[in-house]
Structure 1
Amino acid sequence: MTKIETVIADVKAKIATVTYMPGTRLPSVRATAKRYGFSPSTVVEAYERLQTDGIISSRPGAGFYVSDVTAPLSLADMGPNLDRAVDPLWVSRQSLETSSDALKPGCGWLPPDWLYAEGMRRGLRSVAKADVKVISEYAMPLGLLALRQLLTRRMSGLGIEAEPSQVILTESGTQSIDLIFRFLLTPGDTVVVDDPCYFNFHALLRAHRVKVVGVPYTPDGPNVTAFATILDEHKPRLYITNAAIHNPTGATLSPATAYRVLQLAQAAGLYIIEDDIFADFESTPAPRLAALDGLSQVFYIGSFSKTLSASLRCGYIAAPSEWVESLLDLKIATGFGGGQLAAAVVLSALTDSGYRKHMSAIHTRLANARAQTIPRLAKLGIEPWLLPQAGMFLWCKLPDNNSAATLANRCLSQGVVLAPGNTFSQSQSAESYIRFNVAQANDARIFEVLAQALA
């Protein structure tokens, strides 16, 4: 990237993330040149190109200003100026687009033959014989009542008390988050994320043009001292986090940290999205913020793509009662009625007598996979940040401060997809970390490619 392109990219990124609002006066040519250590003529050329593209305009004697015309949204141009190997959208696409022969220890899901295929087949056969309305008509706005009733019973087992009328079925966990973002956020708002956190949180927040602040994550949950400072200094609107098993670290929220986070959030008027997509992977239930809060400021969400099927999409939101109607309006506006088919099949699979046995077997398989993967990584000098109690993820430190982005590029050329640490990090402080999926690590070629790439 040339010096001129560097200035242009920086201005575009600040406009995209609403650091520069429409009508904002840009820093002067002299100030920008001093900041970068470039010549004033370089900055003038960059500003003139931006003006030619209609992104900024000049006012004689007053400087350059961000144009009022909003440019088309390009998520890839937003956020930090990253190597594409550590861009969350790029990593997702590599995991989804590479051939079935590729090895994917960096992906975030179980292998197909680990999922509950037989239960899903029985569910599909059962639904195919049901009332024709189930396979042909729109669903009611809240979604299938029987599934919502089942979900409230499952939540009750975690201490979360909700009525079926507080549960909204969605097309996926991602749609659940997007609906809540649309409901709560306006461009320029501030959102707190864990650092590190699930990388698609970053990608989705870009689409909503908000400011993002990362709170360091510890083995017990977010650093509460840093969390308190962020609430005081940035006045965020929302905090999004994982319940139970944290992605990517595998850490578990401690009771003390959960109580303190909730106290701080309640005092600050902060809303929380608690994503519990890995609930069924737990051996011992962790505290839920939604249980402690009573669904007052916490939106509790989940889906079934990690345990049942990623092909048949179904998620849900358990929301404070007073916000349900507004969320339903948004759901209809952005997706109309939704479908009944996925919900009916999910209900059948979850109530199938074999589901509990299936998940028990998954717990055992994951424990065995962790026990086999950790020593294989250790031989390469790759060490877990912590030893998780459950789940599929290991958050690993590379030897000798190797660059995870460089390693990912080398391995990708050999058909191995990795998830570099800075993909998950708002502060870009995880350069020497990778997230490793033990369920996708049973092929010896993965470790051969890693050894060659680290050599």
Structure 2
Amino acid sequence: MILFEPDRRRNAAPTLVDQTVTALEHAIQAHLLRPGMILPSVRKFARDHGLSTFTVMAAYNRLVARGLLQSRPGAHFRVSRQKQAAPATVPEWVAPRIGASWLLADVFADHSISIKAGCGWLPPDWHDQAGLPHAMRQLSRVPISQISSYGHPLGYHPLREHIAHSLLEHGLEAAPDQVLLTHGATQALDIVVRTLLRPGDHVAVESPCYANLLQILALNRITVHAVPRTAEGIHEATLQALARQHPIRALFVTSVLQNPTGASFTMAGAFRLLQLAERHDFLVVDDDTSRDLLPEPAPMLAALAGASRVIYVSGFSKSVMPSTRVGYLTCAKPLVDECARTKMSLGLTSTEVMERAVYHVLRDGRHSTYLRGIRERLRQAHDQVTAAMHAHGFEVWGEPGAGLFLWARPPAPRPTGDELIRLTEQALKAGIWLAPGNYFDPEGRDEGWMRFNVAYSGDPRLWRFFHRWAAPR
């Protein structure tokens, strides 16, 4: 049975293997090859179609992997008897129900939302289109024997060396064995919490703060106290009062381009915080994932106070790509060793393949040029979105001019409670994701604030929606 005539031109696309796979798929779908039917041997199929046995074997094996063919060692290939899946249909889209689970989990798999004004990452077309693909091609040349094991508990050593060197440029001295690579910065926070704290321990967090941190602390049954975020850092009087009233073990902050406000510590604010930490003897955990997006230097808490007082957490979801899931933490060596044991208990080692890929990206001389371009695009986006907010009567909490986020709320009368939920649900039905501020509040308070990602918030449809929403009021 001749199923197709291969296109053997040198630059033909698709390849001969792809052509063979497609021809066999069509034959199975058209019932020319019926369930249970034995296929021609590899040699016969190759001879009949003028192909190499390597091409036919590769095509047969690919169809086995897809479940369309079955094979046993030393036996023929035959068409699978399992029921073939019906052609995929696109279901009618239904707006998801607003809730913390959607914000923290479901949204990452929800590709139906076209305007992700509330999300926490760069648009796909903003990412370096050459950096990671080039790194993956480099990795394909690495002998499998070098990447087939679990890897070192601390993570890929050359990347840890690179991180230590880059931190030194900010004034933070850390040896490579003080750097623990993790499955993203969020896992680094989870490891710190599980290593340092026990149920019932008291910690302080910024208000508002990173929503996933609140979930991590809740899952570990940690007692959380809120400290208002200010333009310079945190509200020192509130923190000092809390430290006098409770045995605060740690303070969790984001010193640069905070999520969700976009604010950064001033040097004065950083010094005052560290003085309080020294006076009341608590650790500071700095989640510093967006520093690469900041155009100007900013104080680094760990460099000012040292590794014995500050646990430094960062990662590459903003500067390289979220899908790499490579983060890290650095602190005093004994605590790094404890965190490494926690990491191994949770999931053994981190993914060395992706750590190698990130290392290749960072070592590529084009990465710094890419980051400069991203900073400029974000600056322009801030200008555009801030202007739109003022034009529509929004209140903007600070105007950082850099990073991903703006913290703002619609004009009076401010939507809060059920009205804010209705606004967010209406936005979802219009294909717009908004991020209500109560998800970022340690006490779940709703004061009408929202997190806006400037890279997604310049779309005119977003502002037409807000105009329509405000018109009848």
Answer whether contact 2:295 2:402 (CA < 8 A) is retained. yes
Answer whether contact 1:88 1:423 (CA < 8 A) is retained. yes
- Residue 94 of structure 1 and its aligned partner are, at CA, apart by 4.8
The TM-score normalised by the length of structure 2 is 0.76
Q: Deviations over 1:332-372 (max 9, x none)?
A: 11111232101100000011111011011101111111111
Range that drifts further, 343-352 or 291-300:
291-300
Alignment match of 1:433 (pick from 449, 454, 461)? 449
Distance 2:166 2:347 in 1: 26
In structure 1, the partner of 2:375 is 363
Range that drifts further, 171-180 or 389-398:
389-398
Distance 1:249 1:393 in 2: 6
- Ranges in structure 2 where 5+ consecutive residues have no aligned partner: 1-95
2:400 aligned with 1:388, yes or no? yes
In structure 1, the partner of 2:459 is 443
Distance 1:322 1:293 in 2: 17
Answer whether contact 2:113 2:433 (CA < 8 A) is retained. no
- Ranges in structure 1 where 5+ consecutive residues have no aligned partner: 1-83
Structure 2 vs 1, CA of residues 405 and 134 (structure 1 numbering), >3 Å: closer, same or farther? farther
Letter in 2 for 1:402: P
In structure 1, the partner of 2:427 is 411
In structure 2, the partner of 1:213 is 225
Letter in 1 for 2:431: G
Q: Deviations over 1:216-274 (max 9, x none)?
A: 11100101111111111122111111121111111110111111111111222211211
In structure 2, the partner of 1:454 is 470
Count of paired positions: 372
Letter in 2 for 1:269: D
Alignment match of 1:377 (pick from 369, 389, 403)? 389
Distance 1:123 1:145 in 2: 17
2:165 aligned with 1:149, yes or no? no
Q: Secondary structure at the match of 1:284?
A: coil
- Residue 415 of structure 1 and its aligned partner are, at CA, apart by 1.4
Answer whether contact 1:305 1:311 (CA < 8 A) is retained. yes
Alignment match of 1:328 (pick from 314, 321, 340)? 340
| RMSD over equivalenced CA pairs, Å | 1.7
2:247 aligned with 1:235, yes or no? yes
Letter in 2 for 1:437: N
Distance 2:308 2:394 in 1: 42
- Residue 202 of structure 1 and its aligned partner are, at CA, apart by 0.9
Answer whether contact 2:98 2:425 (CA < 8 A) is retained. no
The TM-score normalised by the length of structure 1 is 0.79
Q: Deviations over 1:31-57 (max 9, x none)?
A: xxxxxxxxxxxxxxxxxxxxxxxxxxx
Q: 1:46-445 residue pairs with structure 2 within 5 A?
A: 87-400=99-412, 401-403=414-416, 404-445=420-461
Answer whether contact 1:191 1:237 (CA < 8 A) is retained. yes
- Residue 195 of structure 1 and its aligned partner are, at CA, apart by 0.4
Q: Percent identity?
A: 34
Higher-Rg member (1/2): 2
Answer whether contact 1:89 1:203 (CA < 8 A) is retained. no
Q: Secondary structure at the match of 1:179?
A: helix
Structure 2 vs 1, CA of residues 251 and 297 (structure 1 numbering), >3 Å: closer, same or farther? same
Q: Secondary structure at the match of 1:212?
A: strand
Structure 2 vs 1, CA of residues 153 and 430 (structure 1 numbering), >3 Å: closer, same or farther? farther
Answer whether contact 1:277 1:303 (CA < 8 A) is retained. yes
Distance 2:311 2:328 in 1: 10
- Residue 406 of structure 1 and its aligned partner are, at CA, apart by 3.4
Letter in 2 for 1:302: S
Answer whether contact 2:157 2:176 (CA < 8 A) is retained. yes
Q: Deviations over 1:399-443 (max 9, x none)?
A: 112224332122112211111111111244452111111101232
